[in-house]
Amino acid sequence: MDLIRLNNITKTYHVGEMDVPVLKGVSLGIGRGDFVALTGASGSGKSTLMNILGCLDRPTSGEYWLDGEEVSRLSTDQRASVRNRKIGFVFQNFNLLPRTSAIDQVTMPLTYTHAHLSEKEGRERAKALLDRVGLGDRGHHQPSQLSGGQQQRVAIARALINSPPLLFADEPTGNLDSKTSREVLAMFRRLNEEERITIILVTHDANVANTAKRNVRMVDGLIESGAFDGVTDRGDTTRSGAGASGATAAPAPLVTGTAGTAGTAANAEVTSS
């Protein structure tokens, strides 16, 4: 079964007396472990679709199955719980809390989690995640003491604290220079490949979109291409095929990515010493 399945989703905004249809019947399937880039021109309904996929908004009509659950009709609080358990968010402008240490940033979503980790377990988990994103020694730094790329990596660690199956990244490289962008994208790839986390990357940058295994392109409220690539009801054979094709595309960026991270870590050590 797919992680995400949208059936004929529409979204209409009411602006004054006028009805403005933004999504005009979108159907989409995304399998587990997929890495999808959602692209489209400004005004194509890309952000609206992303909000609905991220359970931040409700569609006007249609069905949205997330991890075997129909979430399109849930109340605000129920959707908040779904977001907490199943979705991690990474934003363009990082959205870190000001004057708060990296550890506290990462543990913040645990405040609203029902799976009861103790304070200590939470902090240990946060430390492990910071280690994983290469910031193990920056746990007590505040956002103002971190570079843009480091801030975004803290944000990624935060998104992963509840081990969500789905990770949303809304223009994650929009505020980063090309080198750190490559590092962050490489991290996404690694998370996708090593932890089988499904990632949806919203971007308008073709280069960024190319990092993903699959490209869903939106035009004028409809999906122009890529709606069901590699995920059909036919089951496991095709999905493993998609995985294989991803793996073949993988090596080049992964190598540069790891090299890049190692490089920054070395640089950081030089500057700090």
Partner 1 sequence: MKTVVRTFQTSLRALRRNIMRSALTCVGIIIGIGAVIAMMEIGNGISTLNQRAIASLGANNLVIFPGQAASGGVSWGAGSSMNLTPQDCEAILRECTAVRAAAPEVRSGGQIVYGNKNWVPMQITGSTADYLDVRQWPVDEGAVFTEQDVRNSGKVCVIGQTIRREMFGDENPIGKEIRLANVSLKVVGVLTRKGANMWGGDQDDVIIAPWTTIKYRVSGNNRSGSGGGGSSASSGSSSGGVNTLNNLYPNSGVKLYPQQSETQAANYPQPVRFTNVNSITTAATTAEEVPLAIKQITQVLRERHRLGDGEPDDFQVRDMTEMMNTLASTTQLISTLLLIVAGISLVVGGVGIMNIMLVSVTERTREIGLRMAVGAHGKHILMQFLVEAIVLCLAGGIIGISLGRGVSLLVRQLLKWPTAVSVPAIVASVVVSATVGIVFGFYPAWKASRLDPIEALRYE
Residue 147 CB partners (closer than 8 Å, separation 6+): 180
The tokens 């090596």 sit on which residue?
Answer: 251
Q: How far is the CB of 219 from partner 1 (least distance, A)?
A: 22
Phi, psi torsion values for 184, nearest 5 degrees: -65, -40
Q: How far is the CB of 148 from partner 1 (least distance, A)?
A: 17
Overall residue count recorded for the chain in this entry: 273
Q: How far is the CB of 145 from partner 1 (least distance, A)?
A: 15
Residue 100 CB partners (closer than 8 Å, separation 6+): 108, 142, 143
Q: How far is the CB of 143 from partner 1 (least distance, A)?
A: 12
Q: Which is nearer to partner 1, 83 or 239 (CB)?
A: 83
Q: How far is the CB of 104 from partner 1 (least distance, A)?
A: 7
Q: Which is nearer to partner 1, 115 or 252 (CB)?
A: 115
Q: How far is the CB of 99 from partner 1 (least distance, A)?
A: 5
Residues at the interface with partner 1 (CB under 8 A): 51, 54, 56-57, 76-77, 80-81, 83-85, 89, 91, 95, 97-100, 104, 108-114, 116, 158, 162
Q: Which is nearer to partner 1, 17 or 77 (CB)?
A: 77
Q: Which is nearer to partner 1, 158 or 217 (CB)?
A: 158
DSSP 223-257: EEE-SSTT--TT-HHHHHHHHHHHHHH-HHHHHHH
The answer to whether residues 48 and 218 touch, using CB atoms and an 8 Å cutoff, is no
Q: Which is nearer to partner 1, 12 or 95 (CB)?
A: 95
For residues 228-238, one letter each, b for 16 or more C-beta atoms within 10 angstroms of the residue's C-beta and e for the rest, the string is bbbbeeeeeee
Q: Which is nearer to partner 1, 83 or 214 (CB)?
A: 83
Q: Are strands 69-70 and 222-225 parallel, antiparallel or unpaired?
A: unpaired
Phi, psi torsion values for 196, nearest 5 degrees: 55, 35
